[in-house]
Structures are given as structure tokens and as C-alpha cells.
Amino acid sequence: MYARTTYATGDPARIEGSLEGLRTEAPKLLADSPGYRSFGLFADRELGKIAMASWWETASERTNSDAHLRERRAELLTPFADSVSVVTTEIAAFAASPELETATAFRLGRFMIDPSRIDELARSFEQYGLLRMRDMSGFCGAAMFVDRENGTGAVGSLFADRGALAASRTLQSELRRDAAQRTGMRMMCLEEFEVVLMESTPGLPLT
């Protein structure tokens, strides 16, 4: 599958209006788009950050959907955002529990890697990282997003609550260290967010 992620920063005092508009309108806009599979909306209200991601069956369906979503997305973010970036990636591996849509806490880690080692990293994440994460209390889901051309990517992980998120920090640090030693992956940043909305269409594989 494929993803489009949006990252916006702005005035924390104006974040609620944009979040409410996105929470109300995004699911309706996406539901009418062929190939749509999942949507997540995340916020750091204190610092003034919004992150969101939509998942698509094919790269072409992702591209086609942006034609009618781009303008409204900009309108909803404009009252809040002073900076907006939109990135397209491939979903290299993921796991989702039946509790996916009840998650309330989200961690996002961005990384760089030699493009020739992306498949190695994805295999390690799928065969080792996800297996370890599934055993964590409160784990709801995780995914690896990659840009094969630029050698960049991210791992997003969802948890039932802030307590489970906090409890996972040591294990996820160990997993990042192991991945760095195995593949030369380098972390660029690590952030934590509140889950504002998480939804998926019927048929998204669950584990």
C-alpha cells in the first residue's frame, strides 16, 4: 500500500479549529475516493503540530485522490498553519490489532538510510520489530513508511493510552538501536502525539 502524509506547524491557539474541520470533513472526503484504506489524524496541541496520513491501495489511486482533496486540505489548515509539507511514501510493512481505532497515543520516528538497504530494514522491522511490539501492553498498530528514491522514511506506532506509550519507550529505543547497528539507519527526529481520529475501511488486514 501507499501513503500520503501531511505535517503542519502553527499557532497552538488556533489549532482546534483546524482539527475540528479535519476530524469532521476528512473521513467524508476520503470515503468517496477509490482505493482509500485508512486515515489517521494526530496533534501536539501544546507545541502546535498536526500530522495526518491517508493510506491507499495503489500509488495511482493516491495520486488521483489528491486532485480533489488538495484544495480543501489547504483551506482547513490555513487558519492554523504557518508551514505545511506533504510527502508520499510506500508502506513497507505494518501490523494492526483489532483495537487500532481505539488508540489514543501515537509515536512518530523519522529516519535516513542508504536506499540500497531499505528492503533489509523493512524485513528486519517486519520479522523482528513488529513481533516484539505486538507483545507490548496497549499496542494497537505500527507501520513503516519509506521513500526508496531519497532513502528516507518513518515508523509510526499506536498505543491505547499515554501510559502504554510511555511504557513502550525503552523497548522501542532498543529496536531502533538494533536497526541502526544492522542497517546503518540514522534517526532524524522522534515525536509523540495525541490521536485525534483513527479509522480504516473494512478489509484492512489485522493481526
pLDDT tens by residue, 73-130:
999 999 999 999 999 999 999 998 888 889 999 999 999 999 999 999 999 999 989 9
Say if 17 falls within a structural domain. Answer: yes
Per-residue pLDDT tens digits for 37-67: 999 999 999 999 999 999 999 999 999 988 8
Residue 96 pLDDT = 86
Q: Are 106 and 75 in contact (CB under 8 A)?
A: no
Say if 122 falls within a structural domain. Answer: yes
Q: Are 20 and 106 in contact (CB under 8 A)?
A: no
Answering whether pTM is above 0.85, one says yes
| Interacting residues of 90 by C-beta distance below 8 A, sequence separation 6+ | 1, 2, 3, 59, 145, 146, 147, 148
Residue 202 pLDDT = 57
Q: Are 121 and 76 in contact (CB under 8 A)?
A: no
Residue entry with cell 488521483: 64
Q: 71: domain CATH number?
A: 3.30.70.100
The span from the CA of 81 to the CA of 83, in Å, is 5
Per-residue pLDDT tens digits for 120-176: 999 999 998 999 999 899 999 999 999 999 999 999 999 999 999 999 999 999 999
Say if 206 falls within a structural domain. Answer: no
Per-residue pLDDT tens digits for 16-33: 999 999 999 988 888 888
Question: What is the C-alpha end-to-end distance of the chain, expressed in Å?
Answer: 17
Say if 111 falls within a structural domain. Answer: yes
The span from the CA of 196 to the CA of 41, in Å, is 5
The span from the CA of 143 to the CA of 3, in Å, is 11
Q: How confident is the model at residue 36 (pLDDT cuts 50, 70, 90)?
A: very high
CA dihedral of 120, 124, 125, 127, whole degrees rounded to 10: 130
Q: What is the chain's alpha carbon radius of gyration, rounded to the nearest angstrom?
A: 16
> Which grid coordinates are listed for 59?
500509488
Residue 27 pLDDT = 87
Number of domains making up the chain: 1
Range of the domain at 129: 2-197
